[in-house]
Amino acid sequence: MVKNFEPGARQSSNRKQKKKVHVYFLLDESGSMKARQAETIACFNEFIQRQQRLQQEKNVKIQFSLTTFNSDGVRHRYVDKNVRKVVPLNEAAYQPHALTPLCDVVHDSIRALGKRKNVLFVILTDGLENASGHARLAQLRSLIREKERLGWTFQYLGVDVYEFSDARTTKAKQLYLARNIHAAFSRAYFKLRKIIAAYTADSSAA
């Protein structure tokens, strides 16, 4: 017997598209992070799990990108991957060593993202810039201001860096000096929840 279609049967096709948020996470993999390797892995995995739950609770789509970096290279672990498909990090995948080309990597990563909207750009490091070759602070400041005009949110997480001269590249609201890795990841999650709450409110009002 063929069932009659109810008037509401097409509702799913007429639903509004989910709000999309891009989380771009830039993670320092230089030698200074070696002592924090285990804590970083554990906190990163918890951060991903919390995002996965948040995506389901708030009915939004979180597109997650992870880039790790040091002077030996830049590794794009995830690029615009739905956060529910992100797998846990482990010691084999995260091996801190070498130096910190911070300005170069931040500059190039922002450029690579283009003109996307609804971006939370997170930088987590525990060290000072000591290996960049082409990016200058003035360029970086200008680029950050340009992206903020598009609605991007930047969060610079400095772990145990209380005399961080490179923090001058950011405004006070962008900079968070964390006492440890757990506090840094908690701050990133706090910022994400705040952004999603704002987008959800905008969507409801529309």
CATH 3.40.50.410 fits 19-45+52-190, yes or no: yes
Give the pLDDT confidence score for residue 190 in this predicted structure: 95
Query: E strands, 126-183, where?
Result: 153-159, 175-178
- What are the residue ranges spanned by the domains of the chain? 19-45+52-190
Q: Which DSSP category does 118 fall into?
A: S
Q: What is the pLDDT of residues 180-197, one digit of tens each?
A: 999 999 999 999 999 999
Query: E strands, 7-60, where?
Result: 20-28
- Torsion on CA atoms 82, 179, 104, 131, rounded to nearest 10: -140
Mean pLDDT of 41-66: 96
At residue 95, does pLDDT exceed 50? yes
CB atoms within 10 A of CB 98: 16
Q: What is the pLDDT of residues 113-142, one digit of tens each?
A: 998 889 999 999 987 788 999 998 888 889
What is the sign of the dihedral through the CA atoms of 88, 96, 109 and 117?
positive
Are 86 and 78 in contact, with CB atoms under 8 Å apart?
A: yes
Give the pLDDT confidence score for residue 187 in this predicted structure: 93
> What's phi and psi for 165, nearest 5 deg?
-60, -35
Closest alpha carbon to 192 in 36, 63, 43, 8: 63
pTM attached to this predicted model: 0.85
> What's phi and psi for 49, nearest 5 deg?
-60, -40
Mean pLDDT of 150-155: 92
At residue 9, does pLDDT exceed 60? no
Element containing residue 79 per DSSP (H, E): strand 73-82
Q: What is the CA radius of gyration of the chain?
A: 19
Give the pLDDT confidence score for residue 115 in this predicted structure: 86
Give the pLDDT confidence score for residue 194 in this predicted structure: 93
